[in-house]
Structure 1
Amino acid sequence: MSPVYSTTFHVLDMKPEPYAVAPILSARVGIAALAEEPVHAIALRAQVRIEPFRRGYSEEESEGLVDLFGPRERWRDTQRSFLWMHCATMVPGFTGGTEVDLPMPCTYDFEVTGSKYLHALREGTVPLLFLFSGTVFFKGSGGFAIQQIPWDRDDKFDMPISVWHNLIAAQFPNTGWLRLHRDTLDALAAYKAGHGLLGFDDAVTKLLSCSQELP
């Protein structure tokens, strides 16, 4: 008879991955498999959601969140849990329990809801919900067998916003990313070249200064 595993997951810590080419956070996840037989491997997946209603916000932060949730007086109705990302990893074999690093690829694109939210925060924590799923591989009576991780395996973790700030500062020091339509980008490139400017930052700065001079 094949063993029955009761597998639980707990997020222990989160930190930036220091040597990654792209911005990646690493979540340290503790795993317990309540069975005497060893686990051969786990194909682990996680949906990571942000639960904005689980924390308070300063006036400066609330101004940065208007685009997401509207004015503060509407937040009771507009602040809902939303998806930040999906991530996955393979967990090597173990008996009883283990810890694994779950890589979480991030983006600084301001068109992405998660990035908009994180950019608006100045201090405190980011209220996260990890929804775990995947497949447990083990040795059964007739060879290797599998069990699906139950749908109700989840864990909450409050990530210090400083973790995100440190990640972005290391990957994109003093910079940010905006998505532009191709026509807008072509027009901006033509303006830059026509005015003998060195970079797009110079072009946008000049355009902003010109707009401020208008009556």
Structure 2
Amino acid sequence: MTDLTFAVLDVAPEPYAVTPVLTARVGIAALGDEPIHAIALRCQVRIEPLRRNYSDDEAAGLLDLFGPRERWSATQNTFLWQHTTAMVPGFSGAAEVALPLECTYDFEVKAAKYLLALRDGAVPLQFLFSGTVFVRGTHGFGVEQVPWDREERHDMPVSVWRDLIAAHYPGTAWLRLSRECVDALAAYRSARGLLGFDDAISELLAAAKELR
């Protein structure tokens, strides 16, 4: 059976993507003399929140996800960010492959909430590799599976994600509301002659602040 190892070399924004996408550059080494014809590579990318410390500002942003600090030992569990795939062409010895990591700015998604709360430092990622390896067999091609224990940890700078989002959504953020709420907000905006939803929400927040 072919012995494969994986190493995450870096994670960087994909400059020409229409939507926010990071690219993880992964090095693959095949130990042995037999060439690899191809690999149908799969990868599960997870976030390990316990592998880093958090400032007070970051802790406030993580309150919805993990609760107060005193509960973090029980609530800060590793969670799924995404699944990704790539087709690795044939090689001998070593190769590199680019894994696309699609990013969302939807704050209803757990990973997006987590990433938004981080100010600096690194995002603690875990890459779990699997897939199908095509090698030379006795009758043409042989098929093997990537061993189940192939995993790699990588600390992605928070600035990589923040720069990506800033490039695609400069100075803005997405907020999902029910249709009824949007209709009511639109009626409020129109009745007061306001230019946009930002103005309507700002006015409502200011009025609520005065009532406190």
Distance in 2 separating the partners of 1:153 and 1:71: 34
How many percent identity over aligned positions? 64
Q: How does 1:41-52 map to 2 (within 5 A)?
A: 41-52=38-49
Distance in 2 separating the partners of 1:202 and 1:35: 65
Query: Which of the residues 195, 198, 201 maps onto 2:198?
Result: 201
Query: Which of the residues 56, 69, 72 maps onto 2:69?
Result: 72
Distance in 2 separating the partners of 1:198 and 1:214: 24
Distance in 1 separating the partners of 2:87 and 2:190: 49
Structure 1 consecutive aligned stretches of length 4 or more whose deviation exceeds 6 Å: none
Q: TM-score normalised to the size of structure 2? A: 0.95
Q: Any idea what the Cα deviations from partners look like across 1:38-73, whole Å, max 9, x if unmatched?
A: 111111111111111111111111111111111111
Distance in 2 separating the partners of 1:210 and 1:89: 52
Q: Which residue of structure 2 aligns with residue 125 of structure 1?
A: 122
Q: How does 1:1-215 map to 2 (within 5 A)?
A: 4-214=1-211
Give the deviation of 1:77 after TM superposition.
1.1
Q: Helix, strand or coil for the counterpart of 1:185?
A: helix
| Residue identity matched to 1:8 | T
| Residue identity matched to 2:5 | T
Q: Helix, strand or coil for the counterpart of 1:77?
A: helix
Give the deviation of 1:185 after TM superposition.
1.8
Q: Any idea what the Cα deviations from partners look like across 1:102-142, whole Å, max 9, x if unmatched?
A: 11011011111111111111111111100011111123221
**RMSD, matched Cα:** 1.2
**Structure 2: tracts of 5 or more residues without a match:** none
Distance in 2 separating the partners of 1:141 and 1:125: 47
| Residue identity matched to 1:95 | S
Distance in 2 separating the partners of 1:66 and 1:77: 14
Distance in 1 separating the partners of 2:89 and 2:187: 53
| Residue identity matched to 1:53 | L
| Residue identity matched to 1:7 | L
Number of equivalenced pairs: 212
